[in-house]
Amino acid sequence: MKKLFAIVIAFALIISGCTKKSNQTGDNKIILGVSPVPHAEIAEALKDEFKKEGLELEIKVFDDYVQPNLALDQGDIDANFFQHEPYLKDFCEQRNLNLVSVGKVHIEPIGFYSTKIKSIDDLKDGDSVLIPNDATNGKRALLLLEREGVITLKTTEGDITEKDIDKNPKNLKFEAADAANLTNLYQDVTIAAINTNYALMAELKPSKDALILEDKDSPYANIIAVKAENKDSEKIKKLVKIFNSDACKNFINEKYADEIFPAF
């Protein structure tokens, strides 16, 4: 009976060891969560650089701004590359996660797009405006409209929503929606703020098609994020080195000239 009990316990331990998820994959493999464009394209272009560093790169593509951070926290991926640091900090505060930035890669200026008007000056009384519904990207959109003199805000500090608009001379009607859905909805409103990665996926060219666009020195640089406990691991240091390399910078400049900009 004791022998049978020992066998059962040993079997249970084996099963437990097989199902328990580790905080990080092996030392020579990195699973990287990315948005399809341009993040997946940049990562794919750098695979030879990963090989030079003795690393195997597995790219996992996500279509939204929520799952990549949840997957990172749960240990399904080693790092992600899709967001800027203000979004990461806000996300972590809301969900009590311990994820950190380990390096900036590029800047994707947010812009306003329209199929109904040709210039921001063509806005009329009561026109509709669609912005992202997350705090950081919604703030970027509102600051961009304030820069153009379309609205004024009560404050530019902290989280800002349409409720923080102080003056709205044209009585614009503001709505908010998930950033990933804005390219499907923007034709139904007068203007919409669209993140550049989603604009590129929809074959919009920010430098040409946007009515107004953030400057290329925008503080919202896209970053590499990892679990805080892994930020000093050797393979994460190699990952950052690759994404801050001349090979990465050259690819961004050649592939996305005037649309996105290196941030290192």
Confidence grade of residue 23 (pLDDT, cut at 50, 70, 90):
low
- Say if residues 207 and 44 touch (Cβ distance below 8 Å): no
Q: Which strands make up the sheet holding 99-107, listed edge to edge? A: 56-61, 29-34, 79-84, 221-227, 99-107, 261-262
Would you call the peptide bond into 262 cis, given omega within 30 degrees of 0 as the criterion?
no
Strand runs labelled E in 35-190: 56-61, 79-84, 99-107, 111-113, 128-132, 152-153, 165-167, 173-177
Q: In the numeric block, which tokens belong to residue 51?
A: 């090989």
Residue-wise DSSP of 197-245: HHHHHTT--HHHH-SEE--TT-S-EEEEEEEGGGTTSHHHHHHHHHHTS
Q: What's the mean per-residue pLDDT of the chain?
A: 91
The token pair that represents 132 in the structure block: 């992202």
Tokens 């989280």 identify what position? 159
Q: Where does residue 149 fall: left (phi above 0), alpha (psi -120 to 50 degrees), or beta otherwise?
A: left
pTM for this predicted structure: 0.84
Q: Answer yes or no: is pLDDT of 80 > 90.
A: yes
Listed range (3-12, 173-182, 197-206) with the worst mean pLDDT: 3-12
pLDDT in tens, 170-201: 999 999 999 999 999 999 999 999 999 999 99
Question: Phi/psi at 151 (nearest 5 deg)?
Answer: -140, 170
Task: Summarize the confidence of residues 131-137 as an average pLDDT.
Answer: 94
Q: How far apart are CA 196 and CA 212, in angstroms?
A: 12
Q: What is the pLDDT of residue 179?
A: 96
